Amino acid sequence: METIQEQEKIIGMPRIGDNAPAFNAITTQGEINFPEDYSGEWVILFSHPADFTPVCTSEFMTFAHLEDKFAKANCKLVGLSIDGLYSHIAWLRTIKEKIKFKGMKDIEVKFPLIEDISMEVAKKYGMIQPGESKTQAVRAVFFIDPKGIIRALIYYPLSLGRNFDEIYRALIAMQAADKFAIATPADWYPGDDVIVSPAGSCGVAEERMTATDELECEDWFFCTKKLDKEEVLKAIIKT
C-alpha cells in the first residue's frame, strides 16, 4: 500500500510560473535534454495514456498534421507516454501506413515521442493521477515559454480527446499578451479587441472614462482597444 508521501509524489504537479522540470530522455527522435534543448522556443509538452489506442491515435495524427503551423509560431511539440521506445516506433509506423482520420492519411509523426517506462518524467509533471489511472498518463498539455517557464497547463481525462483549435489559440494569445502588453478576453482570436490592464489609480480611471482616444471603456475597470489581426500575426507567425 502506498504511503501518503508516495501518493503526493505521484500526483504533485508544477504550476504556472514555475520552471519546467528538467529531464533527459530517450525519444523517437533521439535523446533530448529538456527544456535546455528548446531554449528560445515555445514548447508544447503533452502526454497520452498509451500507444495503439484510438483516441491517442487521433490526437497524434492531428498534432502531426498541425506541426508546421505550430512551428511557424515558434513552437515545438514533444509527446510522452509510459510506453517503451519500440512500442512508440511500431505505433507511429502503423499510423503512417494504415490509419485514416478526418481526411488525414500517410501521416508521419516527426516530433519526439518520449519513452517513459519508469514514469519518471510523467511523475515530475503530475501526469500520473491515481484517481484516473495508476498505470497511464492523463492527457496533459504544458505550454512552456522560451525561458523554460510554464505558462499554462490543461488536463483532460483518458476518454476526452483534446481540442487543437483551443491549444493553438491559447499559444497565440499568450504570445500576443507578451508582445503587446495586453490581456485577451473570452473567446479571443487575432483581430478581436483586446483588454487593457485595469487602471491603477482613481486619476487614471477618470481619464479613461472621459478620454476619446483608442480605448473603449464600459466602466473604469473594463477597457478594450483594437489590435489589428495582421499586426498580431506579423509579430508572431514566421513567413
The residues that are catalytic are 56
Decide if 189 contacts 197 (C-beta within 8 A).
Answer: no
Q: Phi and psi (nearest 5°) for 52?
A: 55, 35
Q: Is 139 within any annotated ligand binding site?
A: yes
Name the burial class of residue 130, with classes exposed (0-12), middle (13-18) and buried (19+) by CB atoms within 10 angstroms of its CB: exposed
First to last CA, the chain: 55
Decide if 28 contacts 85 (C-beta within 8 A).
Answer: yes
Helix 54-72 to helix 85-98 angle, to the nearest 10 degrees?
80
User: 157-168 burial, b if ≥16 CB within 10 A, otherwise e?
Assistant: ebeeebeeeebb
**Which grid cell sits at 229?**
489581426
The closest alpha carbon to 64, from 111, 14, 124, belongs to 111
**Which grid cell sits at 237?**
507567425
**Which grid cell sits at 153?**
497547463
Q: Which residues are annotated as a binding site for substrate?
A: 139
Q: Which residues are annotated as a binding site?
A: 139
